[in-house]
Structure 1
Amino acid sequence: MRTTNRVNPKVRPTNSQSRNSKKTAIPPANLNPTNANSDRPRPRRVFDARSLAASQSGAQTAKILRTPRTRTARNGPPARPRKFKTPAKTPSSRDRRTPRRRAPKQSDAEEGDDAQRMEIEKVYRELAEDTKQAPARYNPRQPDFSNLMETWPSFPTGVTAHTAGVVEKLTSLSGRTPHGYVPPYELGNRLFKGQYVRFVDAKEKSEAVAEAQRLSQQRADEYSQRKGDLVEPEEIKFTPVGGETKKALIRTLVQGSYSEARLAKDKSPILQEVRRHLGNNETYQTVGKSSQFTAKVEALLASSRPVKRA
């Protein structure tokens, strides 16, 4: 049996009522008139009326069955039953149930294209390996007379000193350093461009000539593709130097004797100094420039001379 008890907030509870409230564990009414929530009706609480009865001595306590509390709030919505989710299917289970799709077979044309592509890649790989320059190990030689001759003093103290002077001049003209190393492909490139090249031995000379011939053939192929006609490569060879040319080189590079400009007896000595200075000036080394400058100087000298009267 369930009963409810309403308490008027304006009437004070008596002692009997306070005792009953303590026994029933009913909270007292809100008697604070300043509180705005005091007029709101409080929610009803359910209690068992058997708890108000007097306890019997020696009697067993009555077992009160209470309903289980819900996790929701008192005034909240009722609890909803849980819905159990089915486990998601793993990719392995899907693959087992669904039949596997076979990859489409390539046609003969596609297989032929793949084979041709592989052959082209193979040819490019072989060309890259052929053009790749193999590293050459540098093996230093023991010092002997031939090695020391490159750094021999070039003072004219004897025959050996003259030879050392020639070697020093040729080394500086060819862009090399004493006891230095220049790879063969660099020597071949200089030879192909027409620069001064000095070879240490016959092996270095043959490798440089082979590299220069390869560059000449490459340039001829480019010209043939550009013009549409076959262009022969330029031949790389050496022209022997005569005895007079060798003597002139020795006099110029070693001895330092330069031929003086011979002038006629009726010419002014000023022109001799002008020609000597023009020989040391790189600007007037072009063919025709020094003669033009000399002719201009002669014209100015002739105009400044006084005219002889009879």
Structure 2
Amino acid sequence: MKDVTNNFLETIEPVYTPGRIKFDFDRFDAAIKAAVSELSDEQLDNLEYNDIKKEFRRFNSLLTKLETKRKDIAKVYKNPLTEFEANFKKSKGPLETLLKTLGNKRDEIDEYHRLLRADHVRSVFEEKCELAGLDKDTFKDKYDGYSLKKWFIDKKMELKKETIEEIDALVLAEYDRLKEYKANIAIIEEQALDYELPSEPYTRALNNDAPLVEILKQMKMDRDAAVERKQQVEAKQKAEAARLAEIEAMAKQSANEEIKAVNAETGEVIEDTKPTDETPSNPIEPYKINLSLTFYGGEKQWYQFAKLLDDNFVNYEIKGENK
């Protein structure tokens, strides 16, 4: 590569030779002061109109002449500067283009070296994670931070001792955290099994950084609430079963009540007794009677009575209805 050190570009610089503008400001200020003192407001009130116009033209002419001279001097100073800035802007263009090209190349090389350092950091973290039994990508968000030159030995692809120690501390802390996390998960699952609760809501709470003691307290509250709900349901079911049993007993009692019949001719109430379920050991001769029955309970009472006859194997014949 061509050596361009100490060449013309490194030594050239603009040279400014300051000029000098001569003007007696002390006498100028004194003359203005004297003029102002001679033309006070009181004195102006005593001047004629034409005199006022004359004085105005005189001082205005003086100020105009001085302003014109100032502008002429300003051009003498400003024009060279304007010309220099225009020429400099045009000439420095190629140099600025070269700087941009060099800067891009420099950044490209810097990024390449940074990626190499980041890859080295990755390998160090993965190795230590493997030894600790952690997922190899646990610290992938740390790679870029540790890829800076300050973490490496100068001009070497090797981490400083203090950097290694800091990485070891990170891995150990994560190992301890994960160990505690697994133990807490086991406690929650065991407690959930004991309380007959699903473990998922409580493990999610642990993942959301809820303290274990608060989770266990909530699990106990949920278990107590579940037990109370279960007891309420059982009590309700028990009460419902008792109510249904009572209704059934009342229905059976109503069905098994003795049905009284009335002799249509005499009006005598005839007690109808239920035959025993036992089959007599000796044959019994059939016994026939003719009855006229009136059911004051209506047709429903008749059906109940007919069922009673059927259940006791009593044959009957309907001779007529509502006679």
Question: What is the TM-score normalised by the length of structure 1?
Answer: 0.25
Question: What is the TM-score normalised by the length of structure 2?
Answer: 0.24
